[in-house]
Structure 1
Amino acid sequence: MGATNNEVWQFATVVATRAVAADILRIELEPDQPAKADPGTHVDVKVQIGETTDKRSYSIVESLDEGKVLAISVQRAPASRGGSIYMHTLTPGDRIEITQPLQNFPLRIGAPKYILLAGGIGVTAIAAMASALRQVGADYHLVYAARSSDVMAYGVELQKEHGERTTLHLDDEDGLLDLDALVKEAGGATELYMCGPIRLMDAVRRSWEAAGHSLPNLRYETFGNSGWFEPEEFEVAIPRLEVNVTVGPGVSMLEALETAGVDMMFDCRRGECGLCEVRVGDLDGEIDHRDVFYSERQKDASAKMCCCVSRVVSHTDGAGSTPGVRQPRIIIDIP
C-alpha cells in the first residue's frame, strides 16, 4: 500500500521547454492551482511509460510569479526506466498531472554559515536554496561539481547570480573534488546541504563524521537511482507468498514486486524514508545499497534493504560488479 504524503494532484500546462545542458531539459509548468514553492520542494509528475502510468519526482529549480510557473529540469538517463524519456517528449501546450509542491528537503534560515553542494543534476534541488540565501544576506558557499562543462546545467547563470560565492568544479579538468577540504571549511554551526549521486554523498558523510561535525547539520536529498555498480538483472523470491520475480536492469525491486501483485509499503521511492524496507533471508550476490536511510553498519550487515532503490549485483572485487555464472538472487520477506 503506497503512502500518499498528502499529495494534492492537479493538471498543469507545459508553457516552455529548452535544453540547459546535454540531455537536460528545462520544463516550465503552469499549474491549474498555483501554490508557493519553497526552496527544497519538488513536484511528483505522472509519466506515461508505454501503456502504464507511473510517478516520478522532480525538484523545483525555480518558482516564478508566486508559483504561477514552476520550472523543473529533467536529465535523460542512459538507464532510464522510461520516465525521463517521456518527460523529454513534452512540448508547450501539453497537459500533464502534477502535485502541488511537496517538501522533503527544507532549508532552515538562521545558521551562521552554509555550504551548498550540488553534484550533477542535483543542482536542481540546490539552486533555489542559493537564491534564497542570497536574498536574505546569509553567508554561504555554493559548490557545483559536474563531470564536464557540457553537462553542467545552469553553471553560467549560477556564477553570474552568486559571483565569488560560487565554485564550479569540472571533474575532467580539475580532477576529483577535494571533499575533505570542503568539509574543513565548515565551522561548528555550519549547515551543509547537498544533493547528488550516492557516491558523492556517501563520501561527504564519511568526511563529515570524521571531522566530528554535528550530524543534524548535514542535510541531503538523493537522486534515488544512482548506485555503486551498474544495474544487473536479478531474482527476488518471497517464499511465504510463493512469489519469484525477475528484476530487470531498468526496473526497481519495488516496481517488479508491485507488478507481480505484491502489496508493498512505500513513500519516497528515493531511499530516504525506509518505509519500503524488506528483510533479507538469503543472498547469492551482494546488495548495492543505494539508500541514505541506513547507517554504514546496517548496510554492511545486509540484513535489510530499501527495495525502492537498492539492488542485488554479482559478487564484486571491490572495483565493480563482475557478472558470474549464476544470476544474482535474493530471498526476502516483507512486513
Structure 2
Amino acid sequence: MRSKLEWRAARVIAIETPAEDVRAVTFAVDGLRSLFDPGSHTNIKVTIGGSPAIRTYTVLPSEPGTLKIAVKLHPNSRGGSAFIWTLKPGDTTEVTEPENRFELSWRASHYLLVAGGIGITPIYGMAHALAARGQSIRLIYGARSREQMAFAEELRDLLGDRLQTFAQAEGQAFDLAAEFERLPPEGEAYLCGPHGMLEAARNLWRASGRPMSRLRFEVFGDSGRFAEQAFTVAVPHRGRSVEVRADQTMLDALIEAGIDMIYDCRRGECGLCAVNVIETSAPIDHRDVFFSDEERHEDVKMCACVSRAVGGCVTIDTGYRRDTATSGQPASMATA
C-alpha cells in the first residue's frame, strides 16, 4: 500500500536527444503546484503491449509549470522507455506531482557526485543546485562512450575542471576508492548508476569507516544480471499461481492478480515490498540495493518491485494477511 498519488494532466511540448539512445521529453503539466528539489521523481502513465502501466523517472530542471525527463532506450526495457520514445509534441498522458527520496542534505563541506550512464539524471539537477549556491563539488561521470554522456557539455560549461568524465570504450574507469579517500571527513557522496557500481560504492564506503548516513544513492531499473524472462510466482497462503510477463514486475503482476502488497519506492531501495522466498526452481536475479550481499546470496527474501526469477517458478509468502490488517492492526504494519 502507499499514499494516494496526485495525478496531473500532461502534454508533450518538446522533444530533445541529449545523447545517443537518450530521449528528453518536456511536459506542460496542469496545476503543477511548485518547483521541485533536485533528485525528485515523477510517475508517468504509459501503455505497454496495449495495457496501462506506471513508470517512474527522475525530473530534470525545467521551467515553472513543466516537467522534463530523460530516458535511455534500453534493449532489456520492460516497455516504459519504448513508450516514452514514441511520444511526440502534442501527445498527452498523466504524471504525478514530483516527490523526493534522494535529497541533498545541504550540510556537507564538499559534495562528490557520481553518475553511471543514465544515472546522470538526478546528479545533473544536483550539480546545478549546488553550483548555484557556490558549494564545493566534484562530479565524476562514466558511460560506455562519450556519445552516450547526456548533458556532458552543459555540465562542463557549468563545472569546468570540477567535472571528470570516463568512457569505457576508451579504456577509462573511475576509481571510487581513491575518490572516497580524497573526500573530506565532513564530505558526502551522492551516486546514481547501475547496480554493480552502487554495490561497490557501498562496500568501499563501509570499509573506509565513514558514516553510512553520508553516502546517498539511487539505482535505476535496468540493473539485473540477466535479461528479463517470464516466470511464475506461487503464493500458497492465497492459493494462487501468477504468471509474470517479461515486461512486467512481480509486484505489478501480484497486484493485478488481486494479491495485497505493501510497497512504496518501486526502485528496490525501501524494502517494503520484500517477500519471503519459500522455494525456487530457478536463480533469483536480485536487483535491489536494500539487502546486503550476504542476504541476497541466501535467497530467503526478494524485493518484488525489481527482483525476479530467471524463468521457472518461485514460491513466496508476502507476509501480508488481510485478517490481521483488518483486526485493528494497520495494514501497512501487518505481518505473517
Q: Could you tell me the TM-score, scaled by structure 1's length?
A: 0.90
Q: Does 1:50 align with 2:34?
A: no
CA distance in 1, matches of 2:241, 2:65: 47
CA distance in 1, matches of 2:313, 2:47: 30
Amino acid at match of 1:63: S
The answer to whether the 8 A contact 1:224-1:291 is kept is no
Correspondences of 1:10-159 after superposition (within 5 Å): 10-34=8-32, 35-64=34-63, 67-159=64-156
List per-residue Cα deviations over 1:67-125 (Å, max 9, x = no partner). 32222111112122221111111111222211111111111113101100111111011
Question: 1:284: Cα distance to partner?
Answer: 2.6
Amino acid at match of 2:128: S
CA distance in 2, matches of 1:106, 1:10: 23
Identity of aligned residues (%): 41
The answer to whether the 8 A contact 2:76-2:222 is kept is no
CA distance in 1, matches of 2:278, 2:5: 34
List per-residue Cα deviations over 1:207-231 (Å, max 9, x = no partner). 1111111100000111134113333
CA distance in 1, matches of 2:130, 2:284: 39
2:62 aligns to what SS in structure 1?
A: strand
The answer to whether the 8 A contact 1:224-1:269 is kept is no
The answer to whether the 8 A contact 2:12-2:87 is kept is yes
> What number of residue pairs does the alignment pair up?
318
Aligned to 1:322: none
Amino acid at match of 2:95: I
CA distance in 2, matches of 1:170, 1:183: 20
CA distance in 2, matches of 1:94, 1:246: 32
Amino acid at match of 1:158: L
Equivalent of residue 224 in structure 2, options 224, 227, 245:
227
Amino acid at match of 1:40: G
Question: 1:175: Cα distance to partner?
Answer: 3.1
TM-align CA RMSD:
1.6
1:200 aligns to what SS in structure 2?
A: helix
List per-residue Cα deviations over 1:282-303 (Å, max 9, x = no partner). 1233322111112233223221
CA distance in 2, matches of 1:130, 1:168: 14
CA distance in 1, matches of 2:186, 2:285: 33
Equivalent of residue 308 in structure 1, options 296, 305, 308:
305
Q: Does 1:241 align with 2:225?
A: no
The answer to whether the 8 A contact 2:14-2:26 is kept is yes
CA distance in 2, matches of 1:126, 1:165: 14
Equivalent of residue 197 in structure 1, options 194, 198, 216:
194
Correspondences of 1:169-208 after superposition (within 5 Å): 169-208=166-205
Aligned to 2:287: 290
CA distance in 2, matches of 1:69, 1:235: 40
CA distance in 1, matches of 2:92, 2:253: 28
Amino acid at match of 1:117: V
The answer to whether the 8 A contact 2:77-2:222 is kept is no
Equivalent of residue 334 in structure 1, options 313, 318, 335:
318
